[in-house]
């Protein structure tokens, strides 16, 4: 995905709307923080930046991972539906 940000306002809007913290990403994925840590350490989810105790993610990446997880849940846990 390509982004073209032309001024400070567009950058601020992008960060506000498209950059997620670990907690926000976990909520969107409907997983625990522990599961988020597992996804990160296994390389299945890559933060764009790691801070002390917090990582930052791009919303598009999280939404893609959400689709993958939902498909896996349907396949391996059909009784949950």
Give the CA count within 13 Å in the CB-facing half-sphere of 75.
Answer: 6
Residue 26 within a domain: yes
Whole-prediction pTM: 0.83
Range of the domain at 22: 18-80
CATH label of the domain that carries residue 26 = 1.10.1660.10
45 inside domain? yes
What's the CA dihedral at 24, 75, 34, 36 to 10 degrees?
-40
In a domain, 69, yes or no: yes
Q: At what angle do helices 59-76 and 22-29 cross, to 10 degrees?
A: 30
Q: Based on the structure, what is the number of domains in the chain?
A: 1
Strand partners, 12: none
Return per-residue pLDDT of the chain as tens, 81 residues: 788 999 999 999 999 999 999 999 999 999 999 999 999 999 999 999 998 889 999 999 999 999 999 998 888 877 765
Burial class (CB in 10 A: 0-12, 13-18, 19+), 36: buried
71 assigned to some structural domain: yes
């Amino acid at each position: 995905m390509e982004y073209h940000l032309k001024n400070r306002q567009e950058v601020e809007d992008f960060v506000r709307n498209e950059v997620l913290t670990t907690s926000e990403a976990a909520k969107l994925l409907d997983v625990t923080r522990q599961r988020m840590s597992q996804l990160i350490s296994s390389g299945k989810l890559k933060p764009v930046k790691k801070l002390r105790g917090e990582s930052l993610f791009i919303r598009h990446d999280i939404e893609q991972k959400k689709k993958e997880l939902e498909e896996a849940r349907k396949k391996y846990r059909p009784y949950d539906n």
